[in-house]
């Protein structure tokens, strides 16, 4: 079977490249491509611009939206009692502090980077890595609404209405990022405000992205040569791409179909999910899909690497969230979620060895080859979303085991924040897994052995030197990527678990996180990613001059919401996309 072997070798090479790319991307300081704000004309054709491009492969038929009545799920949120006056005062003080930080960043974005994708928070410049379509502005629309900043919201909507999506200086558009940030941002701001201008922009982005599905098998192109498509060239779906990028279009497309009553977007993504469902049981780790899949051949079950972290994450996230979004109209999502959650809990979660033997869990990566399943005991800031996700799934579908795992995952993220000198978790790290979920005695020798195993220069230095040089807190076997890039996932899960359980200590953990993050990342203008959260406590980590749109779109929104009254964006009325944009749920 040389063809298969060659293909799998190609895949292994691709995964290696992708992993390299991930870490390379994570550690180089090269600036993103620049974009000259070429007097971008007001959107002339809007959605029509995209509809007028000839279609080469029209769908044979369009699957209609389900018409079944939505079901009543159990509540995601717990019922909160009356709030004591003292607790309320503390909460409102914290809420104001979050809003102050947001306002400072928004003001600087408005002054120095208005309508570009990002503010450069140290130098005061601007960056355009996401098409030059004002990513920060669109990502922050719903946050402005939620924070009750109506004048700023109105100004931003007016500006958003003039974004011209038919033009970009990028050669290649990332369909996934465009979907979660722009389409998700417009849909949610429309769901909250009802402003029709936002719906028009959502439809415009929806028409643009729909063009990426114009391939022989109607599978999408995820890294998309947009100019070729505009000029009417034929296109084919790629033979290898990331499961997260093809598996995370579902919520935005479906919500757009529900709002517009035009089923074509739902139809487009449901084809992907049907193929994923068909092949979920036949992968090397049944229940989970490999990191890299083929859209061209619709192969979702060949490959050995599995993770719920980077490059896969939101494909899993959207399963129970689709049930919430559609009020359970398609039972397949619950089935897919339950299989995935069961496999993830069994294979990917591990209890790390810590000095105090804390009862926590971390989600690692798994290789499954020839029936042998091996765990890579890594951790990522990004995978902290999983605690929130298992909370949502556990509550919707009455799965106590998911809530129990979620609690330990969230506690694991909180623990990891506390274990680092500035109170912030790094992008990636490795730990030492206990053999049993019941825990293990702290074993300094075992820890050092693992440090040495992972060190690249084991001959050159002693293990104690490595620990000192790499500033490894006890329990951490290596820290490959030391940055903190203003990510939301830890506070996201703390927020969701708080709304589901009412655990008061989570409010204090959130506040500690917020203070640590603000202290460590603030600049004169705004907040910035930092290069090294392992820097000694008495040294400020160097600022990286980067503020991705998710800082205003996600991180500060979740911080604000956890300190808001618990019926503000109730999880029983809304479900968040992977960019923290709340969409209205269908409820009976």
Ligand X SMILES: *[C@@H]1O[C@H](CO)[C@@H](O)[C@H](O)[C@H]1NC(C)=O
501 forms part of the interface with ligand X (CB under 6 A): no
100 forms part of the interface with ligand X (CB under 6 A): yes
177 is catalytic: yes
CA atoms of 340 and 434, how far apart (whole Å): 23
217 forms part of the interface with ligand X (CB under 6 A): no
| Letter string b/e over residues 556-585, b meaning 16 or more CB atoms within 10 A of that residue's CB | bbbbbbbbbebeebebbebbbbbbbbbbbb
313 is catalytic: yes
Catalytic residue among 139, 164, 313, 548: 313
Q: Which is nearer to ligand X, 94 or 430 (CB)?
A: 94
Between residue 529 and residue 568, which ones bind ligand X under the rule CB under 6 A?
none
CA atoms of 149 and 556, how far apart (whole Å): 14
Q: Which is nearer to ligand X, 72 or 519 (CB)?
A: 519
518 forms part of the interface with ligand X (CB under 6 A): yes
Q: How far is the CB of 498 from ligand X (least distance, A)?
A: 20
Q: How far is the CB of 201 from ligand X (least distance, A)?
A: 32
101 forms part of the interface with ligand X (CB under 6 A): yes
132 token code pair: 């030059």
DSSP assigned state of 385: H
CA atoms of 444 and 501, how far apart (whole Å): 36
CA atoms of 292 and 305, how far apart (whole Å): 8
494 forms part of the interface with ligand X (CB under 6 A): no
Q: Which is nearer to ligand X, 8 or 518 (CB)?
A: 518
522 forms part of the interface with ligand X (CB under 6 A): yes
Q: Which is nearer to ligand X, 88 or 96 (CB)?
A: 96
Q: How far is the CB of 531 from ligand X (least distance, A)?
A: 18
Catalytic residue among 267, 411, 489, 492: 489
Q: Is 548 helix (H, G, I), strand (E, B) or coil?
A: coil
Beta strands in 235-376 (DSSP E): 241-242, 292-293, 305-307, 349-350, 362-363, 365-369, 372-376
Of 17, 87, 519, 542, the one binding ligand X (CB under 6 A) is: 519
Q: List the one residue out of 348, 412, 392, 411 whose CA is nearest residue 374.
A: 348
**CB neighbours (10 Å) of residue 285?**
21
Q: Which is nearer to ligand X, 357 or 518 (CB)?
A: 518
Q: Which is nearer to ligand X, 149 or 226 (CB)?
A: 149
468 forms part of the interface with ligand X (CB under 6 A): no
How many residues sit close enough to ligand X to count as binding (CB under 6 A)? 6
Q: How far is the CB of 384 from ligand X (least distance, A)?
A: 22
Instruction: State how far the alpha carbon of 44 is from the alpha carbons of 161, 173, 408, in Å.
Output: 11, 20, 51
**Backbone φ and ψ of 224, nearest 5°:** -110, 125
Of 53, 62, 97, 299, the one binding ligand X (CB under 6 A) is: 97
9 token code pair: 């070798």
> Which residues, listed in sequence order, are joined to residue 293 by a DSSP beta bridge?
241
What is the four-CA torsion angle of 277, 65, 315, 238, rounded to 10 degrees? Answer: 80
Is 459 exposed, middle or buried (CB count within 10 Å of its CB: 0-12, 13-18, 19+)? exposed
Residue 578 annotated as lining a ligand binding site: yes
103 forms part of the interface with ligand X (CB under 6 A): no
Catalytic residue among 118, 195, 245, 427: 427
Binding site, annotated residues: 578
Binding site, annotated residues for Ca(2+): 578
Residues that bind ligand X (CB under 6 A): 97, 100-101, 518-519, 522
Which residues belong to the active site? 177, 313, 427, 489
């Amino acid at each position: 079977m040389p063809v298969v072997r060659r293909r799998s070798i190609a895949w292994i090479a691709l995964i290696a490249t992708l992993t390299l790319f991930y870490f390379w991307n994570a550690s180089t300081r090269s600036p993103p491509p620049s974009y000259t704000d070429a007097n971008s004309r007001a959107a002339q054709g809007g959605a029509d611009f995209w509809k007028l491009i000839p279609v080469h492969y029209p769908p044979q038929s369009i699957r209609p939206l389900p018409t079944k009545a939505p079901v009543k799920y159990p509540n995601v949120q717990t019922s909160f009692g009356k709030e004591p006056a003292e607790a309320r005062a503390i909460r409102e003080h914290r809420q104001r502090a979050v809003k102050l930080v947001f306002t400072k960043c928004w003001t600087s974005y408005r002054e120095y980077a208005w309508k570009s994708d990002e503010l450069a928070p140290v130098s005061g410049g601007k960056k355009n890595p996401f098409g030059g379509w004002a990513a920060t502005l669109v990502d922050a629309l719903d946050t402005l609404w939620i924070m009750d900043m109506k004048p700023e919201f109105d100004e931003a909507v007016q500006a958003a209405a003039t974004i011209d999506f038919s033009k970009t200086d990028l050669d290649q558009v990332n369909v996934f990022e465009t979907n979660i940030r722009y389409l998700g941002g417009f849909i949610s701001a429309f769901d909250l405000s009802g402003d029709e201008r936002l719906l028009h922009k959502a439809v415009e982005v929806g028409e643009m992205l729909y063009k990426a599905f114009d391939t022989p098998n109607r599978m999408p192109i995820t890294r998309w040569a947009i100019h070729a498509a505009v000029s009417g060239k034929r296109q084919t779906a790629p033979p290898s791409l990331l499961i997260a990028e093809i598996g995370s279009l579902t919520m935005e497309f479906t919500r757009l179909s529900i709002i517009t009553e035009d089923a074509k977007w739902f139809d487009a993504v449901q084809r992907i999910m049907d193929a994923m469902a068909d092949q979920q049981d036949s992968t090397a780790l049944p229940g989970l899909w490999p990191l890299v899949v083929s859209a061209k051949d619709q192969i979702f079950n060949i490959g050995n690497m599995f993770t719920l972290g980077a490059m896969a994450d939101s494909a899993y996230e959207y399963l129970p969230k689709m049930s919430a979004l559609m009020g359970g109209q398609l039972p397949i999502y619950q089935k897919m979620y339950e299989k995935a959650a069961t496999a993830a809990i069994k294979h990917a979660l591990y209890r790390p060895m810590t000095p105090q033997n804390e009862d926590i869990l971390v989600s690692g990566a798994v290789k499954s080859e020839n029936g042998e399943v091996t765990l890579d005991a890594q951790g990522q800031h990004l995978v902290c979303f999983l605690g929130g996700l298992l909370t949502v799934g556990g509550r919707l579908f009455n799965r106590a085991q998911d809530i129990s795992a979620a609690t330990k995952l969230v506690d694991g993220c909180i623990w990891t924040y506390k274990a680092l000198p500035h109170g912030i978790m790094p992008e990636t790290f490795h730990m030492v897994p206990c053999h049993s979920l019941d825990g293990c005695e702290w074993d300094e020798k075992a820890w050092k052995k693992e440090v040495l195993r992972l060190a690249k220069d084991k001959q050159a230095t002693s293990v104690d030197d490595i620990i000192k040089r790499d500033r490894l807190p006890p329990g951490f076997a290596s820290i490959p990527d030391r940055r903190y890039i203003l990510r939301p996932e830890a506070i996201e899960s703390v927020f969701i678990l708080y709304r589901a359980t009412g655990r008061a200590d989570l409010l204090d953990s959130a506040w500690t996180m917020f203070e640590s993050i603000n202290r460590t990342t603030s600049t004169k203008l705004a907040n910035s990613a930092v290069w090294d959260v392992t820097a000694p406590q008495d040294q400020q980590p160097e600022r990286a001059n980067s503020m991705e749109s998710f800082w205003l779109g996600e991180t500060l929104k979740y911080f604000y919401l956890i300190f808001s009254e618990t019926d503000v964006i109730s999880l029983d009325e809304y479900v968040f996309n992977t960019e923290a944009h709340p969409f209205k749920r269908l409820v009976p």
